[in-house]
Structures are given as C-alpha cells and as structure tokens.
C-alpha cells in the first residue's frame, strides 16, 4: 500500500490510475480508525479498483473551543487496519495523509459553502463546522479525483451536505452513504469514544437507548414529537444523570425540514454531552 503525504504525489498517483483505466473510490476520515471506518473501506473496495483512504484531522472543521489538539491519533494502527481490511487489494491502495500547512497555506481564503442544509442541527450549533467539512472534501475530491466516495450514516447531516455539494458542483462521483456500525451495546462507533473512562463508556449508550425508545414508541403508534422527546430525555437522564442534552430533533431525511409528527422518512437525531464528551447519533424512525 502506498502512503502518500504530498498533494503532488497524490495527484500523480490518481493520474496514473486513471491512465491505466482503473476506477478509484475515496474514503475521507480523520483517522483513529474503528470498525465504522473499516466498513466504509470494505464498501469502497466493492465499488472500485483502487481504494484511497484519506487521514486528515481537518483544523477547519473544529471551532477554537473544540477538541482539535487532543483529537486521538495513531497513524501506524490506522495503516494496519486498512491493510487488514483490504487484504490483497491493499497492493493497489493508497492512504493520503496530507499536512495541514499544505492543505491550508497561510493565505488560504477560498471556502465551499452549502447554505440551507447547514443552517440546522449540527450546523446551528457549530457555525463554522460544515464549511470546513465541505471545503476539505472538495479539496480531497480535486486532488484524488475519485469515481466513488463513501461516507457514513453516523454523520447523516454531513453526508447530506456533501451529497448536495457533489451534485451542485457537478463532481462526476458516485456518492455512497453506508450504515452506522455500532458496539455490541448499541453505542455508535466513534473515534471520540476513546475519550471515555469506564463509567463514561457505560453512560454513552444513553443515546442509543433514547433512539430505541423513540422507535418503540413510533411502532406502538405514537407519532407526536413532543411526548417522544420527553420520553427520550427521561431515558437519557436515567442512563447518564449528568448528561447534557444539546438537542433531540425530528427532521425529514431528505430535506431536513423540522417535523413535529413522525411520518414516513422522519429521522430522529440527537447530540448529547456525556461526561464532557459530545456525541451524536441518529435513527430513521419510519
């Protein structure tokens, strides 16, 4: 597997692959990989001849108050995990690990912004987050020139925003959103789970319990968002007494319009701070 650190070398790798008639799938990540990331890499392998995983802790998507400096990193382990996931196919694969100063030179001033889809949920709480995400992914698309890109449902708003960007800017890329991979108890796998001590890790399942509660209520015929939200709040408090709920929201999965009644295509998403660690999760309810 090729480990590529410069933008020029990545561009030349992509050109070589295209000249050989090989298709490429890209999996953008911030590293500290887990089985969720690995599932995207395996999906990418099914979709194209060459898999390029990118590892870049993107400073532009962190606010000054957020966890950029302490975001977990382990490049060697990441490389081993990707190699193991790809098996023989790792011969044709690459990992692109650009440097922040190359991606964002000192006089960098060009941003890609998706306007409406980023005005709610995570975008409303983290005002500069999505322009960081869209800008870095646009750059990665331009450098890697993939035929396919794979993202995770875990960050469903991010996937929607990037899907819209891909369409709006006319990237000739097949855009795939792969399902959320969970721990045995239901907690969505996340690099940030590494922040938890044992107690925090137990309590972190609160988000999943709350989403399951919502699903059960909908199955039982309750569709008003109000009572479902209250029950979810109670479940979170019972599982993690010190949890701070940032939001519990019900939206149309295609437009992100707010929903006060659960109907076909309604997705429930939530952000909760458990012992200082902010987690997000979501589930389609109908």
On whether the CB atoms of residues 209 and 197 are closer than 8 A, the answer is no
Please, what is the minimum distance in Å from the beta carbon of residue 97 to ligand AMP? Answer: 13
Kindly give, in sequence order, each residue whose CB lies less than 8 Å from that of residue 69, ignoring residues fewer than 6 positions away: none
Of 1, 3, 12, nearest to 143 by C-alpha is 12
**Identified binder of ligand AMP from the candidate list 25, 30, 52, 143, rule CB under 6 A:** 30
Are 102 and 7 a contacting pair, CB within 8 Å? Answer: yes
Residue 224 CB, shortest distance to ligand AMP, in Å, is 30
DSSP helix/strand/coil, 156? helix
Rounded least distance, CB 241 to ligand AMP, Å: 25
* Among 154, 208, 267, 283, interactor with ligand AMP by CB under 6 A: 154
- Find the part of the chain contacting ligand AMP (CB under 6 A) among 73-81, 152-160, 195-203, 210-218: 152-160
Query: From the list 25, 38, 40, 148, which residue makes contact with ligand AMP (rule: CB under 6 A)?
Result: 40
User: What's phi and psi for 177, nearest 5 deg?
Assistant: -115, 120
Least distance in Å: CB of 132 to ligand AMP? 11
**266, 230 in Cβ contact below 8 A?**
no
Three-state DSSP state, 284: strand
Active-site residue (options: 10, 27, 34, 37): 37
With binding defined as CB under 6 A, does residue 191 bind ligand AMP?
A: yes
User: 136, 140, 173, 188: which one contacts ligand AMP (CB under 6 A)?
Assistant: 188
Nearer Cβ to ligand AMP (15/99): 99
- Count of all residues that appear for the chain in the document: 286
Q: Which is nearer to ligand AMP, 181 or 228 (CB)?
A: 181
Tokens of 160: 């929607």
Rg of the Cα atoms in the chain: 19
157 makes contact with ligand AMP (CB under 6 A): no
Residue 155 touches ligand AMP, criterion: CB under 6 A = yes
Of 79, 152, 193, 217, the one binding ligand AMP by CB under 6 A: 152
When asked if residue 43 is in the footprint of ligand AMP (CB under 6 A), the reply is no
134 touches ligand AMP by CB under 6 A? no
How far is it, in rounded angstroms, from Cα 178 to Cα 153?
6
User: What DSSP state is assigned to residue 240?
Assistant: -
Give the span between the Cα atoms of 50 and 82, in whole angstroms.
Answer: 13
Q: What distance in Å separates the CA atoms of residue 64 and residue 67, rounded to the nearest whole number?
A: 8
Respond yes or no: is residue 37 known to be catalytic. yes
Active site residues: 37
Q: What residues make contact with ligand AMP under the rule CB under 6 A? A: 29-30, 36-37, 39-40, 151-152, 154-155, 178, 180-181, 188-191
């Amino acid at each position: 597997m090729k480990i590529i650190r410069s933008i020029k070398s990545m561009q030349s790798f992509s050109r070589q692959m295209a000249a050989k008639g090989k298709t490429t799938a890209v999996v953008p990540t911030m590293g500290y990989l887990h089985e969720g990331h690995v599932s995207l890499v395996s999906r990418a392998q099914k979709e194209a001849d060459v898999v390029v995983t990118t590892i870049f802790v993107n400073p532009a998507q962190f606010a000054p108050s957020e966890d950029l400096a302490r975001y977990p990193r382990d490049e060697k382990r990441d490389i081993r995990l990707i190699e193991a996931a790809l098996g023989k196919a790792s011969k044709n694969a690459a990992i692109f690990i650009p440097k922040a100063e190359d991606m964002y030179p000192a006089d960098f001033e060009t941003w890609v912004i998706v306007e409406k889809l980023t005005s709610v949920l995570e975008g409303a709480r983290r005002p500069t987050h999505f322009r960081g995400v869209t800008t870095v992914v646009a750059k990665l698309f331009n450098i890697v020139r993939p035929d396919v890109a794979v993202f995770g449902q875990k960050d469903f708003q991010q996937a929607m925003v990037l899907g819209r960007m891909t369409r709006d800017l006319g990237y000739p890329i097949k855009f795939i959103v792969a399902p959320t991979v969970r721990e045995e108890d239901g907690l969505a796998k996340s690099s940030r789970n590494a922040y938890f001590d044992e107690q925090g890790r137990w309590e972190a399942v609160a988000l999943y319990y709350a989403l399951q509660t919502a699903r059960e209520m909908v199955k039982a015929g309750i569709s008003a968002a109000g009572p479902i939200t209250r029950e979810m709040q109670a479940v979170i408090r019972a599982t993690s007494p010190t949890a701070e709920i940032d939001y519990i929201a019900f939206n149309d999965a295609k437009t992100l319009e707010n929903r006060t009644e659960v109907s076909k295509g309604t997705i429930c998403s939530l952000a909760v701070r458990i012992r200082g660690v902010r987690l997000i999760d979501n589930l389609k309810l109908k």
